Amino acid sequence: MSQSAVDVPPKGGFSFDMCKRNDMLIQKGLKAPSFLKTGTTIVGLIFQDGVILGADTRATEGPIVADKNCEKIHYMAPNIYCCGAGTAADTEAVTDMVSSQLRLHRYQTGRDSRVITALTLLKKHLFSYQGHVSAALVLGGVDITGPHLHTIYPHGSTDTLPFATMGSGSLAAMSVFEAKYKEGLTRDEGIKLVAEAICSGIFNDLGSGSNVDICVITKGNKEYLRNYMEPNPRTYVSSKGYSFTKKTEVLLTKITPLMERVEITEVGGEAMEE
């Protein structure tokens, strides 16, 4: 009878198997790989007909800009979108995962997804990982019960707010919101305010930059305005491309040989051996 270990699938939750090894490596002086963080400004605001979400498009890896035009507004459901700040892999994975769960749930129930469903799925997942999944999200959408806007923090707590900002540029964006938000904004006023808040983050926060993405969600309709504003265009692009002007002049057409031509004659010996 063989003592074969039965492969039990992991029960989920954090797997502590590698912790001892990682500790030992860190003590030996190994630096942990740095994360691709999105060092971000993301905002959301509720206006009279629904929700507007906004985000910048810069992804940073420490001091370097890794992606100048990444997408931070993730699709969750036809009527729900989610902006993500923090570690790019974490926000991508967590929103993808909950988006699939929502779709399966839609097939099962035959109804449109609700924002609080997405909220509960996200917060349960993030809480169970105790903050190690570094995803700070602004979740917004319009469902049968009306427009909703929530913020979700990496440790799993949530807030329900009329206007919200997250990411490293959140203070710059929040100062714009606190100074200028009022209730009952129209669609154009709302878009203008969101663009202003994101621009405030782009120009005053080093972790945010490049362009402004906006997503407007209303009852039964959504508009994903990718690169709604591009306030950082490439300057000084030459339309001619690179061309080198012909500046060579012909000075002389006489050819002066520098050295006597040397004639090589075979001496008729044997060819080299080997």
Residue with smaller CB distance to other proteins, 117 or 210: 117
Q: Are 171 and 159 in contact (CB under 8 A)?
A: no
115 binds other proteins (CB under 8 A): yes
Least Å distance, CB 191 to other proteins, is 17
Min dist CB 178 to other proteins, Å, is 4
The packing angle between helices 170-180 and 187-204, to 10°, is 140
Minimum CB distance to other proteins smaller for 40 or for 200: 200
Under the binding rule (CB under 8 A), the answer on residue 186 touching other proteins is no
The catalytic position among 40, 95, 117, 165 is 40
Of the residues 65, 89, 161, 225, which one makes contact with other proteins according to CB under 8 A: 161
Dihedral sign for Cα atoms in the order 156, 160, 166, 172: negative
Give the one residue of 79, 134, 200, 210 binding other proteins; rule: CB under 8 A: 200
- The helix, strand and coil proportions of the chain, stated in percent and rounded to the nearest 5, come to 25, 25, 45
The counts of H helices and E strands in the chain are 5, 12
Asked about 40 being catalytic, the answer comes back as yes
Least distance between other proteins and beta carbon 30 (Å): 29
Q: Per rule CB under 8 A, is residue 220 in the interface with other proteins?
A: no
Reported residue count of the chain is: 274
Question: Torsion angle, CA of 203/204/210/211, rounded to 10 degrees?
Answer: -70
Q: Which of 14, 96, 109, 178 binds other proteins (CB under 8 A)?
A: 178
Distance of CA 37 to the CA centre of its chain: 8
Of residues 84 and 140, the one with the C-beta less far from other proteins = 140
Nearer residue to other proteins within complex by CB, 23 or 178: 178
Using the minimum distance from each CB to other proteins, give the nearer residue, 88 or 196. 196
**How many other C-beta atoms are found inside a 10 Å radius of the C-beta of residue 175?**
15
Please say whether the dihedral angle defined by the alpha carbons of residues 25, 28, 33 and 37, taken in this order, is positive or negative: positive
- Output the DSSP codes for 161-199: -SEEEESTTHHHHHHHHHHH--SS--HHHHHHHHHHHHH
Whole-angstrom CA distances from 103 to 99, 187, 222 are: 6, 28, 17
48 binds other proteins (CB under 8 A): no
Contact flags string 242-271 toward other proteins, x per CB under 8 A: ------------------------------
> Applying CB under 8 A, which residues contact other proteins?
46, 115-116, 119-120, 123, 145-146, 148, 150, 157-162, 171-172, 174-176, 178-179, 183, 200, 203-204
Catalytic residues: 40
